[in-house]
Amino acid sequence: MIRVMVYGLGPIGAAVARQMAARKGFQVVGGIDVDPAKAGRDLGDVIGLGRKLRVKVSDDAVKAIRAARPDVVALCTSSSLKKVMPQIEGLLKLKVPIVSTTEELSYPVGPNRRLAKQIGDMARKAKVAVLGTGVNPGFTMDALPIMLTGVCERVDSIRVDRIQDARSRRLPFQQKIGAGLTAAQFQKKVDDKGVRHVGLAESVTMIADAMGWKLDRVTDQIRPMIANSTVESEFLAVDAGYVCGLVQDGIGWSKGEPLVTLHMEAYLGAPESYDAVTIEGSPRIVQKIAGGVHGDVATASITVNAIAKILMVSPGLRTMRDMPLVSWWNGR
Amino acid sequence: MIRVMVYGLGPIGAAVARQMAARKGFQVVGGIDVDPAKAGRDLGDVIGLGRKLRVKVSDDAVKAIRAARPDVVALCTSSSLKKVMPQIEGLLKLKVPIVSTTEELSYPVGPNRRLAKQIGDMARKAKVAVLGTGVNPGFTMDALPIMLTGVCERVDSIRVDRIQDARSRRLPFQQKIGAGLTAAQFQKKVDDKGVRHVGLAESVTMIADAMGWKLDRVTDQIRPMIANSTVESEFLAVDAGYVCGLVQDGIGWSKGEPLVTLHMEAYLGAPESYDAVTIEGSPRIVQKIAGGVHGDVATASITVNAIAKILMVSPGLRTMRDMPLVSWWNGR
Contacts of B212 in chain A (CB under 8 A): 25, 329-332
Classified as helix, coil or strand, B246 is strand
Closest residue, chain A, to B302 (C-alpha): A151
Residue A170's pLDDT is 86
- Total Cβ atoms within 10 A of residue A314: 11
Contact by Cβ (8 Å): B332, B23:
no
Instruction: Kindly indicate the confidence band of residue A319, based on its pLDDT and cuts at 50, 70 and 90.
Output: very high
Burial of A182 (0-12, 13-18, 19+ CB in 10 A): middle
Asked if residue A125 and residue A182 are part of one domain, the reply reads no
For B285, the enclosing helix (H) or strand (E) is: strand B285-290
d(CA B45, CA B64): 18
Backbone angle region of B56, left / alpha / beta, with phi > 0 → left and psi within -120 to 50 → alpha = beta
- Distance between CA B31 and CA B149 in Å, rounded? 39
Q: Are residues A93 and A204 both part of a single domain?
A: no
Q: What is the CATH number of the domain that holds A244?
A: 3.30.360
Cα–Cα distance between B60 and B156 in angstroms, integer? 50
- Contact, A230 vs A123, CB < 8 A? no
Q: Is the pLDDT of residue A5 over 90?
A: yes
* Local confidence band at A115 (pLDDT 50, 70, 90 cut-offs): very high
| Residue B170: pLDDT over 90 | no
Summarised one tens digit per residue, pLDDT across range B218-241 is: 999 999 999 999 999 999 999 999
Same domain, A60 and A159: no
Position A296 pLDDT exceeds 90: no
Evaluate if residue B194 carries a pLDDT over 90. Answer: no
Residue A279 within a domain:
yes
Within 198-257 of B, beta carbons closer than 8 Å to A belong to 210-214
Average pLDDT, chain A: 97
pLDDT in tens, A132-187: 999 999 999 999 999 999 999 999 999 999 999 999 888 888 988 999 999 999 99
pLDDT for res A209:
98
ipTM score of complex: 0.97
Asked if A149 and A184 sit in the same domain, the reply is yes
pLDDT, average across residues A71-94: 98
Q: How far is it, in rounded angstroms, from Cα A224 to Cα A270?
A: 13
Q: Are strands B2-7 and B26-32 parallel, antiparallel or unpaired?
A: parallel
Q: Is the pLDDT of residue B326 over 90?
A: yes
The predicted-structure confidence for A226-271, as pLDDT tens digits, reads as follows: 999 999 999 999 999 999 999 999 999 999 999 999 999 999 999 9
Torsions phi, psi of A235, nearest 5?
-105, -30
* pLDDT for the residue A34: 97
Q: What is residue A294's predicted lDDT score, i.e. its pLDDT?
A: 85
- Output the pLDDT for position B79: 96
What pairing do the DSSP bridges indicate for beta strands B257-267 and B154-165? parallel
Q: How far apart are the first and last CA of chain A?
A: 9
CB-nearest partner of A283 from B211, B212, B298: B298
pLDDT digits (tens, 9 = 90+) for A183-207: 999 999 999 988 889 999 999 999 9
Residue B172 has pLDDT above 90, yes or no: no
Angstrom distance (rounded) from CA A8 to CA A225: 31
Nearest CB neighbour to A301, from listed B22, B152, B304: B152
Start-to-end CA span in chain B (Å): 9
Using the beta-carbon criterion (under 8 Å), do B147 and A325 form an inter-chain contact? Answer: yes
Residue A327 inside a domain? The answer is: no
Considering the domain boundaries, does residue A231 fall inside one? yes
- pLDDT for B138 beyond 90: yes
State mean pLDDT over A120-134: 98
Do B196 and B257 fall into the same domain? yes
φ, ψ of residue A79 in degrees (nearest 5): -80, -20
Q: Residue B6: in which H helix or E strand, if any?
A: strand B2-7
pTM: 0.97
DSSP secondary structure code for residue A156 in this structure: E
Query: What pLDDT was estimated at residue B168?
Result: 86
Q: Are residues A147 and A280 in the same domain?
A: yes
Residues A11 and A122 in one domain: yes
Pairing, β A274-282 against β A285-290 = antiparallel
Helices (H), A101-182: 112-126, 143-148, 171-176
Contacts with B19 from chain A: Cβ below 8 Å: 153
**B172 contacts: CB under 8 Å, gap ≥ 6:** B11
Report yes or no on B323 lying in a domain: no
In a shared domain, residues B76 and B31:
yes
Among A297, A324, A332, the residue with its CB nearest the CB of B321 is A324
> Among A174-178, B21-25, B237-241, B252-256, where is mean pLDDT lowest?
A174-178
Q: What is the pLDDT of residue A298?
A: 96
Domain co-membership, A200 together with A70: no
Residue A37 pLDDT more than 90?
Answer: yes
Q: What is the mean pLDDT of residues A273-281?
A: 98
Residues B33, B148: one domain?
no
Q: CA A200, A205, A206 angle in degrees (round to 5)?
A: 100
Residue A329 domain-assigned?
no
Domain count, chain B: 2
* A146 part of contact set with chain B, CB < 8 Å: yes
Q: Within this chain, do residues B114 and B231 fall inside the same structural domain, yes or no?
A: no
Note whether B177 and B195 are within 8 A (CB).
yes
- For chain A, how big is the Rg over CA atoms in Å? 20
Determine, yes or no, domain membership for B329: no
The answer as to whether B240 is a domain residue is yes
| Option in B150, B151, B288 nearest A288 (CB) | B288
Confidence bin at B294 (pLDDT 50/70/90): confident
Q: Which domain holds residue B221?
A: 143-292
Residue B332 lies in a domain: no
Query: Residue range A288-313: average pLDDT?
Result: 95
CATH number of the domain that residue A124 is part of: 3.40.50.720
Is residue B148 exposed (0-12), middle (13-18) or buried (19+ Cβ within 10 Å)? buried
Please check whether residue B204 is in contact with residue B260, taking contact to mean a CB–CB distance below 8 angstroms: yes
Kindly compute the dihedral angle of the four CA atoms of residues A329, B260, B155, B138, in this order, to the nearest 10 degrees: 60
Q: Are residues A237 and A166 in the same domain?
A: yes
Put simply, whether B302 touches A (Cβ < 8 Å) is yes
